[in-house]
Structure 1
Amino acid sequence: MAFKNLLSSRDRNSNDLRSEEEELFRRCSIDSYLATGLRFLESARRPPLEDYILRRNNLAKALVAEGVDAFVVEPGYTFSYYANITQSEWEPWEPEERPFVMIIRPETLPDGKIVANTSFLVPHFEETRARLLNMPFREDLHTVTYEEHWNFYTTLYQSEIWGDTLSPIIMVDEELRDFIQRGLASNGFTVVGLAGEVEVVRQVKTEREIGILKAVNTGTAEAIRAMRSCLYQDVRERVVAEVLDDTMRAAGLEPFFNIVEFGKSAALPHGGYDGTRKLKPGMFVLIDVGAHLYGYSSDICRTFFPPFTPNPPPSTTHNMTEQLDVWQLVLDAQTAAVKAMVAKGTAAAVDIAARDVIEAAGYGDYFTHRLGHSIGIKAHESPYLNKGNFGAVLRPGMVFTAEPGVYVLDKFGVRHEDVLVVRENGDAENISGGFAKSPWDP
């Protein structure tokens, strides 16, 4: 049922109307979303134990390729990628002054196979708590424990896990805090930063990961479309953000950021206004939103007209011609980027392909950010698609956003963002439910 029809049979005072409008808007959006059947969820399956074992074994092989003795990480996104750290019923295990780190070392079996050998440096009084995290290991956890008055790093250095290695070379994750890196480096370890094949392990997604990313990103795009069909005149940006979040939750997605901008607000790519601007006919709506499913992220942006803006629009509408031209220009730039998103291409080439289209139209100064980024359990992952990143070579299974934009200060902004996976041959595959078709069909 169209939103306007939900209100037509009632006569209310203005205060009651406003609150009921918002509730009816929320119900309309959720119902429209559920009416899709949520088929996009069918591609998502929670990673099993075997997937985490494979990830750690792939990491072990990469460590050997880089000539590194171990990889060290503390709780965060990377820790979750390799060990699915969960603790939903207790206080979350956040990084604190007592280091809790995972150490993954390569081990060569008699048949030549390289596998991961994993240990955890943990305070002695927290050892049982660490074992109760239900991390995905077949074997019992191996821990190196320390008392609080000990030197944590010497304790790790003197443990038996290093064998005869005198100065272990350890690669530290980018999320490992500086004081731990310095502590390791000053107590016998040679510390190197994340790089090479070790970094690539997380960058190349498996088909199971791609299935989850497809579900959460398609589901996010569908939520935007469902919500759009229920928009009404004078609704405020903050209300749209709240309703969109509730809509995504109806499918089991968990929103974690939401940028909603009307009209000239959208000239600031990541917002900055207070969310009180009211929606009027002829205004572009720019929405950039992300949610999680099984720990994986979506990141979708759409720019569109509300359903009460006529198609075609009145010729007298302010700025309408330029808005329509720029909307198509940004879509053309995105198309060019997708064509350049091929295996063995560079991250820079993808950005430049889109940037050339926008610059040729005279709007180069208004495309003010990089083209995109990789995406996985973290919304922004490496490699990054910017015009200077010639060192990053695309591989099949890498997943990226393509999000060109044009932002005309004090007038309007346009951004289209989809999520794509690099394939062995041909164009990158859209895994966010298809590209926008028009300002009235995002």
Structure 2
Amino acid sequence: MDSKAQEQNWIFVAASAGTRRQSKIRHCLALAILSACTCFVLITKYYDNWQEGLFGAAPQNLDQFQKCSIKNFLDTGLPFLDSASPLPVAEFVERRNQLAEALVADGIDAFLVEPGYTFQYYANISQKDWEVWEPEERPFLMVVQPQSSAQGEISAATTFLAPSFEVERAKLLGMPFEEALAFVPWEEHWNPYETLMEAWHSNSLAGMSGQQGRAPKIMVDEEMRDFIQRGLGENGFDVIGLGGEVERVKQTKSVREIEIVRAVNTGTVEAVRAMRECMYPGLTENQVMNVLDNTLRAAGMEPFFDIVLFDEDASNPHGGTDGSKVLEAETFVLIDVGAHLYGYSSDICRTFFPPFFPKPSSPSEYAALSVDIREKLSVWDTVLEAQNQSMEFLKAGNSAASVDIAARKVITDAGYGEAFTHRVGHGIGIKAHESPYLNKGNLEVILRAGMTFTSEPGIYLVDKFGVRHEDILLVKDDGEPEVLSGIRAKGPWEP
């Protein structure tokens, strides 16, 4: 065959191959278009039904979204608020007396705390209540000491170390005491810690008699700033960190505390559900966050953190992106949010699909879902089972570590062990994160009835999506823990 004939043959072969490739490409494109159209029809039909009244009128803008969310929330009647109320003075008196008994049990002379969460627990004053502008350099300390009656009953004697010019302002705070407040004032040119020691040795502090001859042993917590601890230590106090029975006082919740924790956490879950029903395509993470915050405020709860993450943004448990990712039909939404009510915290998390993405109603519809969606569903179920198993071990007498280990085994057995990157939970009350902490190394802490915890296992697949379920649980004397966040999630369409 001459060269010209060969050239013509190769041109024919190449053209034939090109035609076949084009035919295959057209075939693939046709299938892709058909699949996309099918999905579009299903979603459009579902969205039309939503607009026609299945979920109420679908919002078309942010203002409608906000109104829809708040209306849904208020339409529940807010029954979760019925059993919660502000704490009476007697509750704070009882706490301080329990603290005094714990100090005796631990061999501690006094407990010192500056404004913050622990101060709020014992005297209802937060850091911002005392210093609106910023934590300042002048120490204002609450000193709680045990005192014994003639009958041997132990109670708390409380004194405040305060700058002289701030004593009258401190009296105006309305702290929950039945007796008149006692102060050790210090002038600006004095050493406040030396002033406290002089008051100690002069027996002008109610609980200090009989303590001469040795350094007073005082306990502080993690909120006490370093310069104050050093000042106390340099002026004769034996300073030790929080622990023992003293730490356990705040860990064990009273009936009133439990009801507030129940109210704020159930309310937070219900706010998320109310908001979800109003979501529409095109919303950003930040827009969802703002609407949810305002929905919580409608019931008198004040949000203090709100993490809204879509798909791959949720592969980092606490986010870190700019909140601009846009909501689409198959988006997996992860919301971790906390609010305050009567000084107590919520901390819940839900992972779900938006309401305009149809839930499969038959095996054939499930089989038609994409591989990515089926993976999301599988991971969602795995995380729920991990939470189930954690609850099996959240019982009085078990170690804090056992709860984490139980959840971690489920996730590891499913092949996602390295994707569960944090502890399974923590204590919750005045603070969203309190001790004890439920991690696999916390073998020494034994759970007690009355402790409240989060259980929040998660799986985080980088560049894909993240799933976390979080509920609040009360350790009981016997049996399973009590859920304090209402009804747990049932599925990605029923969070």
> Which TM-score band (shorter chain)?
over 0.9
Q: CA deviation at 1:163?
A: 2.8
User: Which residue in the other structure is 1:71 paired with?
Assistant: 111
* TM-score, normalising length: structure 2: 0.85
The amino acid across from 1:149 in the alignment is H
**SS of alignment partner, residue 158 of structure 1:** helix
Kept in 2, the 8 Å contact 1:282–1:318? The answer is no
Residue among 177, 193, 197 paired with 1:157: 197
Kept in 2, the 8 Å contact 1:286–1:415? The answer is yes
User: Which residue in the other structure is 1:14 paired with?
Assistant: none
Kept in 1, the 8 Å contact 2:380–2:467? The answer is yes
Q: CA deviation at 1:387?
A: 0.4
Asked if 1:406 corresponds to 2:459, the answer is yes
Note closer, same or farther for the CA distance 1:91–1:68 as it changes in structure 2 (3 Å cut): closer
User: Which residue in the other structure is 1:374 paired with?
Assistant: 427
Kept in 1, the 8 Å contact 2:253–2:450? The answer is yes
**SS of alignment partner, residue 82 of structure 2:** helix
User: Which residue in the other structure is 1:310 paired with?
Assistant: 358
Q: In structure 2, what is the Cα distance between the partners aligned to 1:273 and 1:97?
A: 35
Kept in 1, the 8 Å contact 2:265–2:348? The answer is yes
**SS of alignment partner, residue 212 of structure 1:** helix
* TM-score, normalising length: structure 1: 0.95
Q: In structure 2, what is the Cα distance between the partners aligned to 1:93 and 1:55?
A: 29
Q: In structure 2, what is the Cα distance between the partners aligned to 1:89 and 1:357?
A: 44
Unaligned 5+ runs, structure 2: 1-47
The amino acid across from 2:85 in the alignment is R
Kept in 2, the 8 Å contact 1:3–1:28? The answer is no
Q: CA deviation at 1:93?
A: 7.9
Superposed CA deviations along residues 326-365 of structure 1, whole A, max 9, x for unmatched, are: 0000000000001100001111000000000000111001
Q: In structure 1, what is the Cα distance between the partners aligned to 2:196 and 2:301?
A: 40
Deviates more, 1:84-93 or 1:43-52: 84-93
User: Which residue in the other structure is 2:181 paired with?
Assistant: 141
Q: CA deviation at 1:186?
A: 1.1
User: Which residue in the other structure is 2:447 paired with?
Assistant: 394
Kept in 2, the 8 Å contact 1:49–1:136? The answer is yes
Residue among 294, 299, 309 paired with 1:246: 294
Kept in 1, the 8 Å contact 2:335–2:351? The answer is yes
Q: CA deviation at 1:2?
A: 8.7
Q: In structure 2, what is the Cα distance between the partners aligned to 1:197 and 1:164?
A: 23
Asked if 1:324 corresponds to 2:377, the answer is yes
Q: In structure 2, what is the Cα distance between the partners aligned to 1:3 and 1:215?
A: 30
Q: In structure 2, what is the Cα distance between the partners aligned to 1:128 and 1:383?
A: 37
The amino acid across from 2:211 in the alignment is T
The amino acid across from 1:77 in the alignment is Y
User: Which residue in the other structure is 1:233 paired with?
Assistant: 281
The amino acid across from 1:323 in the alignment is K
Deviates more, 1:208-217 or 1:308-317: 308-317
User: Which residue in the other structure is 1:132 paired with?
Assistant: 172
**SS of alignment partner, residue 181 of structure 1:** helix
Note closer, same or farther for the CA distance 1:263–1:232 as it changes in structure 2 (3 Å cut): same
The amino acid across from 1:376 in the alignment is G
Kept in 1, the 8 Å contact 2:115–2:127? The answer is no
Q: CA deviation at 1:234?
A: 1.3
Superposed CA deviations along residues 383-437 of structure 1, whole A, max 9, x for unmatched, are: 0000000111100000000000000000111000000000000000001012100
Residue among 277, 294, 304 paired with 1:256: 304
User: Which residue in the other structure is 1:419 paired with?
Assistant: 472
User: Which residue in the other structure is 1:117 paired with?
Assistant: 157
Q: CA deviation at 1:95?
A: 3.3
Q: CA deviation at 1:89?
A: 9.0
The amino acid across from 1:202 in the alignment is K
Kept in 1, the 8 Å contact 2:114–2:224? The answer is yes
Q: In structure 2, what is the Cα distance between the partners aligned to 1:85 and 1:358?
A: 41
**How many residues in Structure 1 have an aligned counterpart in Structure 2?**
432
Kept in 2, the 8 Å contact 1:358–1:367? The answer is yes
Deviates more, 1:304-313 or 1:34-43: 304-313
Q: CA deviation at 1:66?
A: 0.3
Q: CA deviation at 1:164?
A: 3.7
Q: In structure 1, what is the Cα distance between the partners aligned to 2:164 and 2:311?
A: 57
Over the aligned positions, Cα root-mean-square deviation in angstroms equals 2.0
User: Which residue in the other structure is 2:322 paired with?
Assistant: 274
The amino acid across from 1:415 in the alignment is R
Q: In structure 1, what is the Cα distance between the partners aligned to 2:167 and 2:251?
A: 31
Q: In structure 1, what is the Cα distance between the partners aligned to 2:147 and 2:131?
A: 34
Superposed counterparts of 1:87-106, under 5 Å: 92=132, 95-106=135-146
The amino acid across from 1:163 in the alignment is S
Q: In structure 1, what is the Cα distance between the partners aligned to 2:49 and 2:183?
A: 60
Note closer, same or farther for the CA distance 1:89–1:439 as it changes in structure 2 (3 Å cut): closer
Residue among 452, 476, 485 paired with 1:432: 485
Which structure has the larger Rg? 2
Unaligned 5+ runs, structure 1: 11-16
Q: CA deviation at 1:316?
A: 4.2
Q: In structure 1, what is the Cα distance between the partners aligned to 2:133 and 2:107?
A: 31
Q: In structure 1, what is the Cα distance between the partners aligned to 2:174 and 2:432?
A: 25
User: Which residue in the other structure is 2:406 paired with?
Assistant: 353
Q: CA deviation at 1:90?
A: 8.5
User: Which residue in the other structure is 2:387 paired with?
Assistant: 334
